């Protein structure tokens, strides 16, 4: 884990203004798929806390992020321009466990972020990618992903692209050695209820520090037959299906 000052090199905005893709250059240490960065939205202390973002990709000295505007911090980040400096702490968290064989990647909304990075390390995967509408599907930004996937299943809640309905209504009925799941809590909870095989889930909790100090990211898990409180930023954000206690959130 290292604090690094990066520079925004590229920014792409999308219709509606709620999503931006950022390419940030800096002397970043290497990361693994599923790990995340804490990014300071502003050089001042307002807002005071950094915000957590999954790593979309890391290549050379560039890091890529896909950010959805939901509040003040993400709004400030969406307004960054090439040349602006940003302070990042990276890499944080545990990341996914790579499994042999055919796997399923299931991403809802910005939950696609860590799965894009994971896909770059996989040989054989099916991608299940869901969003509210076609404007929130960013597959065209990653043409290699469609080419390399065994199958891509798009779902939108309004039916404007791919299959209509929630992602969890379209889980492929095949055997996978593992499913990697990331997205809103209700989606992951329903996925865990329906999916019988081995799976890992990347949890998005509220985070304060991102490196184990504040306990702002506490989640309840089941380990060794006992319930425990753990910090999602340290012991997660990726957890095995059998560990997560789905009633929270
Ligand atoms: C490990 C991890 C990876 C993430 N990766 C991404 C990513 O790749 N792209 C992306 O756009 N977002 C990602 N997020 C969510 C992102 O961190 C929050 O959206 C952001 O911190 C909100 O900051 P804000 O100042 O804009 O909103 P705030 O003003 O702080 O909050 C606005 C609203 O968003 C809710 N919110 C804030 N933080 C979170 C959170 N962590 N999870 C769920 N709801 C939250 C608040 O409860 C409030 O309702 C990730 C979160 C985690 C923990
Ligand atoms: S965010 Fe502070 S302990 Fe996890």
**In this structure, is residue 205 part of a structural domain?**
yes
85-92 sheet: strands from edge to edge: 51-54, 36-39, 85-92, 2-13, 19-25, 62-68, 57-59
> How many Cα atoms sit within 13 Å of 215 on the Cβ side?
3
Instruction: Please determine, for residue 166, whether its predicted confidence score (pLDDT) is greater than 90.
Output: yes
**What pLDDT was estimated at residue 68?**
96
Query: Do 133 and 225 fall into the same domain?
Result: yes
Lowest mean pLDDT among 165-169, 194-198, 214-218, 221-225: 221-225
Q: Which of 70, 208, 232, 233 most suits a substitution to test ligand 1, by most atoms within 8 Å of the C-beta?
A: 70
pTM for the model stands at: 0.95
Report in angstroms the alpha-carbon separations of 118 from 32, 100, 189, 202. Answer: 8, 13, 21, 12
Q: Phi then psi for 189, rounded to 5 degrees?
A: -65, -40
Residue 224 pLDDT level (bands cut at 50, 70, 90): confident
Looking at all shown ligands, the one closest to residue 49's CA atom is 1
* pLDDT tens digits, one per residue of 56-66: 999 999 999 99
pLDDT over 70, % of the chain? 99
Ligand 1 atom with least separation from CA of 52: 17
CA 41 / ligand 1 centre spacing (Å): 12
CATH number, domain of 37, equals 2.40.30.10
Using DSSP, state whether 95 is helix, strand or coil: coil
Of 92, 122, 157, the position where a domain reaches its end is: 92
CB 39 within 8 A of CB 50: yes
Instruction: Please determine, for residue 44, whether its predicted confidence score (pLDDT) is greater than 90.
Output: no
State how many domains the chain has. 2
Of 64, 92, 120, the position where a domain reaches its end is: 92
Instruction: Please determine, for residue 248, whether its predicted confidence score (pLDDT) is greater than 60.
Output: no
User: Does residue 179 have its Cβ closer than 6 Å to ligand 2?
Assistant: no
Domain that holds residue 58: 2-92
Report the candidate in 127, 230, 228 with the shortest Cα–Cα distance to residue 180. 127
Query: Do 86 and 109 fall into the same domain?
Result: no
CA 204 / ligand 1 centre spacing (Å): 8
Query: Do 116 and 207 fall into the same domain?
Result: yes
Instruction: Please determine, for residue 115, whether its predicted confidence score (pLDDT) is greater than 80.
Output: yes
């Amino acid at each position: 884990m290292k604090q690094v000052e990066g520079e925004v090199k590229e920014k792409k905005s999308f219709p509606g203004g709620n999503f931006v893709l950022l390419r940030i250059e800096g002397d970043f240490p290497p990361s693994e798929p599923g790990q995340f960065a804490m990014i300071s939205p502003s050089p001042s202390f307002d807002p005071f806390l950094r915000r957590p973002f999954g790593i979309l990709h890391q290549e050379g000295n560039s890091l890529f992020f896909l950010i959805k505007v939901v509040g003040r911090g993400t709004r400030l980040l969406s307004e960054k321009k090439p040349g602006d400096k940003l302070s990042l702490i990276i890499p944080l968290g545990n990341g996914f466990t790579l499994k042999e064989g055919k796997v399923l990647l299931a991403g809802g909304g910005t939950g696609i972020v860590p799965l894009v990075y994971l896909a770059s390390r996989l040989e054989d995967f099916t991608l299940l990618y869901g969003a509210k509408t076609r404007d929130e599907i960013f597959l065209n930004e990653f043409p290699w992903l469609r080419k390399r996937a065994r199958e891509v299943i798009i779902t939108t809640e309004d039916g404007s692209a791919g299959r209509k309905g929630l992602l969890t209504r379209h889980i492929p009925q095949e055997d996978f050695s593992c499913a990697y799941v990331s997205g809103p809590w209700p989606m992951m909870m329903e996925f865990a209820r329906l999916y019988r095989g081995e799976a890992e889930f990347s949890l998005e909790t509220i985070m304060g520090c991102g490196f184990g100090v504040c306990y702002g990211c506490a989640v309840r898990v089941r380990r060794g037959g006992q319930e425990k409180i753990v910090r999602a930023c340290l012991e997660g954000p990726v957890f095995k299906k059998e560990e997560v206690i789905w009633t929270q959130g």
